[in-house]
């Protein structure tokens, strides 16, 4: 069997707040394979975001083994971590996903721009994707001129534009009504099937869990249950 | 990409940005205009002081300039002037006699600062006939022993053109000498003090009165453009001091130390103003950008999460200040240039401050019209200083932005 996309063994994370130590992750074992459409679930504070941040190299684990896309992400230098994110990870956050001064189109092409893609290269990737997620005609809108659902779609396009190894989506539907949530999730599922992109969610939204092929339930910083569809 | 992002970010807080830009713009423009006017008036005062002293470099009998003693003369002044002309870098050497004297008529007597010159040679330094309001030039008159008198003195003495006056002075030997002069014309500068004491005659006429034909009190040397005055003065000391009477060779800096000191003090005040201004501007910018970074922690976290390296986020903040600075410097420069051109064109008469008979370091400047001149090097230094100050004061904020940990930054507003 080939190396899984994500391999976590005994991953721990301790936050220090003055004298206080918060054990956010207490030894997580998890593997995620290519093409999965999976969700981390569990009560608030159980460590979903923390784990997602470690996988996305936004933060460093305190202990354990963690490799993503064949790269050991436990001890990346700050700049290398940024490069790693640009090369391998697409992010969709709960809110404040978009750069306020950039238009929908500029936000969508932002990661490609960071990669140094030419204007033409960016256009051939971003335009069809924006059309595909139903944002044709809204290219020039600023984020505040878009609905919450539309903003999240722009973020999805931006995440997919670089053909990342994995898209990490932390509560992407938390600020949306159920119709918008369902629309966004169906779209992501379709893209997962069309493009084969791996998606990993952190959520407690039932709409996500319904669609996920695998739900990893966490409790107190550990994996509690791993349920495949 | 960074410039575009920076430009749009700046205009998110339009009022704040405009206030910052105006602050930089106006303090910068004000500094340039102040330098322009300052440099020009200093130049004028210096020119006047150098003119009044007699040249860029002055040659006297050793000890003369500090005492103005009548017996410290250059007995072979014409030869000294001739030798000075032979020194490299000398444009002209002007022999002249400065002598305190008394001019009298039947209606009274007045103390004068008599200047005996060769009118044609003197031309190289100053046009002594510039203020001639009546009568003839010294080099055109047919009168024997001609003298030009300040108009107020002439009125007091009730003389007229062609009239006789008696000049009394102490001769080279210390004995009082009297001689008859004929009034060739009147000079009117508009400056009371000058018009009461000014008197010009020719070297020939002075020598006639003093019984001599070569003695002068001073040889004023004008240097050629681009010549180092100090070096030239040294060469003159070498060339003139070897034989004959001991001479002193003074550069204009040494000759008019009060004026040089005044100008240096005046410049120092301007630099202090500039320094205070820079500190204020730096403080405002540093503060504003720190606030701006704090406000945008979440956004910087996002950019970093997406793969923009921390260092480039710091650069983004610096580019924002750089753009702000460029706008401010551009507008400020245009304003300063307009101010410079306007002031230089129309001029600001010093008289509007109501200072009659205003004297600075021995030079009467009450008729001075302040104009403006650009000292390129100073304008460049000021511009670079403004840019370095503004961009530099945002470095702290930039470092802060660059060091944000994305995971924490993203939690900021959760
Ligand atoms: N930067 C941090 N500093 C201190 N404690 C933190 C930090 N990030 C997360 N935590 C704590 O770690 C635990 C897990 O948080 P999180 O991963 O955000 O949970 P979830 O996303 O499942 O709601 C919580 O107790 C939270 O308060
Ligand atoms: Mg969370």
Q: What is the pLDDT of residues B1-17, one digit of tens each?
A: 788 899 999 998 899 99
Q: Which residues of A touch B2 (CB under 8 A)?
A: none
Closest to A82 (Cα-Cα) out of B163, B248, B314: B314
> Residue A163: which pLDDT band, with cuts at 50, 70 and 90?
very high
Nearest chain A residue to B306 by CA distance is: A86
- pLDDT for A1: 45
Q: What's the A72 CA to ligand 2 centre distance in angstroms?
A: 23
> Residue B175: which pLDDT band, with cuts at 50, 70 and 90?
confident
- pLDDT for B192: 81
- pLDDT for B355: 58
Q: Which residues of A touch B305 (CB under 8 A)?
A: 56, 58, 85, 91, 93
Residue B124 structure tokens: 């190289």
- pLDDT for B362: 61
CB A208 within 8 A of CB A185: yes
Q: Indicate if the pLDDT at residue B357 is higher than 70.
A: no
* Residue from A11, A17, A22, A94 whose mutation best tests the ligand 1 pocket (most atoms within 8 A of CB): A22
Atom of ligand 1 nearest to the CA of A221: 14
> Residue B68: which pLDDT band, with cuts at 50, 70 and 90?
confident
pLDDT tens column, B69-112:
888 899 888 999 999 999 999 999 999 999 899 999 998 999 99
A97/B302 CB distance under 8 A: yes
Q: Which stretch of A80-94, A133-147, B237-251, B254-268 has the lowest confidence by average pLDDT?
A: B237-251
pLDDT tens column, B126-153:
888 999 999 999 998 989 999 999 999 9
Q: Which residues pair with B277 in a beta bridge?
A: none
- pLDDT for B89: 92
Distance of CA B209 to the CA centre of its chain: 38
ipTM of the complex: 0.95
- pLDDT for B224: 92
A53/B407 CB distance under 8 A: yes
The residue with greater pLDDT, B396 or B353, is B396
Instruction: Identify the residue whose tokens are 């001479």.
Output: B247
Task: In whole angstroms, give the CA distance from residue A117 to residue A109.
Answer: 9
Judged by a CB distance cut-off of 8 A, whether residue B309 touches chain A is: yes
- pLDDT for A54: 97
Residue B25 structure tokens: 């713009």
Q: H-helix or E-strand containing B114?
A: strand B108-117
Beta carbon pairs, A and B, within 8 Å? 59
What is the arithmetic mean of pLDDT over A3-14? 95
Taking the CA of residue A111 and the nearest CA in chain B, the distance in Å comes to 7
- For the whole prediction, is pTM greater than 0.95? no
Task: In whole angstroms, give the CA distance from residue B320 to residue B3.
Answer: 8
Give the closest of B9, B406, B410 to A101, CB-based: B9
Give the closest of B12, B298, B308 to A96, CB-based: B298
Closest residue CA from atom 24 of ligand 1? A45
- pLDDT for B360: 65
A203 lines ligand 1 (CB under 6 A): no
Give the closest of A78, A83, A101 to B307, CB-based: A83
Q: Indicate if the pLDDT at residue A224 is higher than 80.
A: yes
- pLDDT for B363: 65
Q: What is the separation, in whole angstroms, between the first and last Cα of chain A?
A: 21
Percent of chain A with pLDDT over 90: 94
Residue B20 structure tokens: 């910052």
Helices (H), A89-172: 104-114, 119-132, 148-161
Task: In whole angstroms, give the CA distance from residue A142 to residue B57.
Answer: 71
- pLDDT for B358: 61
Taking the CA of residue B20 and the nearest CA in chain A, the distance in Å comes to 20
What is the arithmetic mean of pLDDT over B163-172? 91
Task: In whole angstroms, give the CA distance from residue B234 to residue B30.
Answer: 40
The residue with greater pLDDT, B366 or A160, is A160
The conformation of residue B74, written as its DSSP 8-state character, comes to B
Task: In whole angstroms, give the CA distance from residue A165 to residue A157.
Answer: 14
Strand A166-170 to strand A198-202: parallel, antiparallel, or no bridges (unpaired)?
parallel
A101/B407 CB distance under 8 A: no
- pLDDT for B306: 96
Q: What's the A204 CA to ligand 2 centre distance in angstroms?
A: 9
Closest to B169 (Cα-Cα) out of B132, B129, B208, B118: B208
Taking the CA of residue B320 and the nearest CA in chain A, the distance in Å comes to 13
Q: What are phi and psi of B105, to 5 degrees?
A: -130, -175
Nearest chain B residue to A50 by CA distance is: B407
Atom of ligand 1 nearest to the CA of A47: 17
* Residue from B409, B411, B413 whose mutation best tests the ligand 1 pocket (most atoms within 8 A of CB): B411
Task: Delimit the domains of chain B by residue range.
Answer: 2-50+259-410, 63-245
Q: H-helix or E-strand containing B43?
A: helix B14-53
What is the arithmetic mean of pLDDT over A17-28? 94
Q: Which stretch of A177-191, B97-111, B349-363, B398-412 has the lowest confidence by average pLDDT?
A: B349-363
- pLDDT for B361: 61
Closest residue CA from atom 13 of ligand 1? A24
Taking the CA of residue B312 and the nearest CA in chain A, the distance in Å comes to 10
B408 lines ligand 1 (CB under 6 A): yes
Residue B57 structure tokens: 């470099």
Judged by a CB distance cut-off of 8 A, whether residue B406 touches chain A is: yes
Task: In whole angstroms, give the CA distance from residue B151 to residue B155.
Answer: 6
Ramachandran bin of B244, using left for φ above 0, alpha for ψ from -120 to 50, beta for the remaining angles: left
Task: In whole angstroms, give the CA distance from residue B278 to residue B94.
Answer: 47
> In what order do the strands lie in the sheet containing A198-202?
A89-92, A166-170, A198-202, A37-41, A214-219, A222-228
Task: In whole angstroms, give the CA distance from residue B396 to residue B399.
Answer: 5
Percent of chain B with pLDDT over 90: 63
Strand A89-92 to strand A71-72: parallel, antiparallel, or no bridges (unpaired)?
unpaired
What is the arithmetic mean of pLDDT over B15-25? 93
A111/B9 CB distance under 8 A: no
Q: How far is CA A207 from CA A199, A204, A224, in A?
A: 15, 9, 21
Task: In whole angstroms, give the CA distance from residue B380 to residue B32.
Answer: 10
Q: Which residues pair with B167 in a beta bridge?
A: B103, B179
* Residue from A49, A200, A205, A208 whose mutation best tests the ligand 1 pocket (most atoms within 8 A of CB): A49
pLDDT tens column, B296-321:
999 999 999 999 999 999 999 999 99
> Residue B409: which pLDDT band, with cuts at 50, 70 and 90?
confident
- pLDDT for B356: 57
B306/A158 CB distance under 8 A: yes
Q: Indicate if the pLDDT at residue B353 is higher than 60.
A: yes
CB contact set of A128 (below 8 Å; sequence gap of 6+): none
User: Greatest CA span in chain B, whole angstroms?
Assistant: 103
What is the arithmetic mean of pLDDT over B48-66? 90
CB contact set of B271 (below 8 Å; sequence gap of 6+): none
Q: What is the DSSP string of B209-253?
A: HHT-SS-BSEEEEEEPTT--HHHHHHHHHHHHHSSSS-EEEEEHH
The conformation of residue A116, written as its DSSP 8-state character, comes to T
pLDDT tens column, A43-84:
999 999 999 999 999 999 999 999 999 999 999 999 999 999
Q: Which residues of B touch A109 (CB under 8 A)?
A: none
CB A51 within 8 A of CB A216: no
CB contact set of A113 (below 8 Å; sequence gap of 6+): A122, B1
CB contact set of A4 (below 8 Å; sequence gap of 6+): A31, A32, A33, A34
CB contact set of A35 (below 8 Å; sequence gap of 6+): A192, A196, A197, A198
Nearest chain B residue to A52 by CA distance is: B407
A53 lines ligand 1 (CB under 6 A): no
Q: Indicate if the pLDDT at residue A104 is higher than 90.
A: yes
Task: In whole angstroms, give the CA distance from residue A147 to residue B123.
Answer: 84
Q: Helices A148-161 and A178-195: crossing angle, nearest 10°?
A: 20
CB contact set of B363 (below 8 Å; sequence gap of 6+): B45, B48, B49, B52, B256, B259
Q: B38-64: b or e for each residue (b if 16 or more CB lie within 10 Å)?
A: bbbbbebbbebbbeebbbbbbbbbeeb
């Amino acid at each position: 069997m080939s190396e899984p996309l994500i391999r976590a063994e005994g991953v721990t994370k301790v936050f220090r707040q003055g004298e206080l130590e918060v054990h956010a992750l207490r030894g997580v074992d998890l593997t995620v394979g290519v093409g999965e459409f999976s969700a981390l679930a569990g009560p608030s504070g159980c460590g979903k975001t923390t784990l997602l941040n470690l996988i996305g190299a936004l933060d460093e684990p305190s202990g354990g083994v963690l490799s993503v896309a064949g790269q050991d992400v436990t001890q990346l230098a700050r700049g290398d971590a940024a490069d790693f994110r640009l090369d391998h990870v697409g992010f969709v956050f709960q809110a404040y996903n978009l750069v306020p001064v950039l238009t929908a189109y500029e936000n969508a092409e932002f990661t490609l721009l960071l990669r140094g893609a030419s204007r033409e290269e960016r256009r051939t990737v971003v335009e069809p994707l924006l059309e595909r997620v139903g944002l044709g005609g809204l290219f020039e809108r600023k984020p505040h001129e878009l609905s919450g659902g539309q903003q999240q779609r722009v973020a999805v396009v931006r995440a997919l534009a670089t053909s990342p190894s994995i898209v990490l989506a932390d509560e992407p539907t938390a600020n949306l009504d159920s119709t918008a949530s369902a629309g966004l999730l169906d779209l992501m599922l379709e893209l997962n099937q069309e493009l084969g992109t791996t998606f990993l969610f952190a959520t407690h939204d039932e709409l996500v869990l319904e669609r996920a092929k695998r739900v990893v339930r966490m409790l107190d910083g550990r994996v509690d249950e791993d349920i495949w569809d | 990409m960074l410039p575009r992002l920076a430009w749009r970010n700046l205009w998110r807080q339009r009022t704040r940005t405009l206030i910052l830009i105006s602050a930089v713009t106006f303090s910068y423009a004000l500094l340039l205009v102040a330098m322009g006017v300052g440099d020009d008036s200093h130049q004028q005062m210096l020119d006047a002081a150098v003119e009044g002293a007699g040249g860029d470099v002055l040659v006297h009998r050793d000890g003369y300039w500090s005492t103005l003693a009548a017996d410290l003369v250059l007995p072979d002044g014409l030869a000294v002037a001739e030798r000075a002309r032979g020194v490299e870098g000398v444009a002209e050497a002007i022999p002249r006699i400065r002598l305190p004297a008394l001019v009298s008529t039947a209606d009274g007597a007045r103390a004068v600062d008599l200047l005996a010159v060769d009118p044609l040679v003197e031309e190289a330094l100053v046009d002594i006939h510039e203020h001639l309001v009546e009568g003839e030039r010294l080099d055109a008159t047919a009168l024997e022993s001609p003298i030009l008198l300040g108009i107020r003195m002439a009125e007091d003495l009730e003389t007229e053109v062609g009239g006789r006056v008696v000049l009394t002075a102490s001769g080279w030997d210390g004995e009082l000498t009297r001689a008859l002069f004929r009034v060739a014309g009147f000079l009117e500068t508009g400056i009371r003090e000058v018009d009461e004491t000014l008197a010009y005659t020719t070297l020939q006429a002075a020598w006639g009165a003093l019984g001599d034909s070569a003695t002068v009190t001073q040889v004023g040397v004008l240097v050629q453009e681009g010549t180092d005055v100090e070096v030239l003065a040294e060469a003159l000391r070498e060339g003139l001091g070897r034989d004959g009477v001991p001479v002193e060779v003074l550069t204009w800096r040494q000759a008019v130390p009060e004026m040089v000191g005044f100008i240096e003090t005046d410049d120092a005040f301007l630099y202090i103003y500039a320094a205070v201004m820079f500190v204020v501007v730096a403080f405002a910018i540093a503060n504003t950008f720190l606030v701006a970074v704090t406000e945008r922690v979440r956004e910087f976290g996002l950019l970093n999460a997406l793969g923009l390296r921390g260092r480039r986020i710091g650069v983004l903040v610096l580019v924002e200040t750089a753009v702000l600075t460029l706008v401010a410097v551009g507008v400020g420069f245009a304003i300063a240039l307009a101010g410079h051109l306007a002031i230089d064109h129309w001029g600001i008469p010093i008289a509007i401050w109501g200072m009659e008979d205003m004297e600075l370091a021995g030079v009467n400047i009450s008729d001075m019209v302040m104009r403006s001149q650009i000292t390129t090097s100073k304008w460049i230094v000021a511009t670079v200083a403004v840019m370095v100050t503004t961009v530099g004061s945002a470095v702290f904020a930039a470092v802060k932005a660059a060091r944000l940990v994305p995971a924490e930054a993203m939690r900021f507003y959760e």
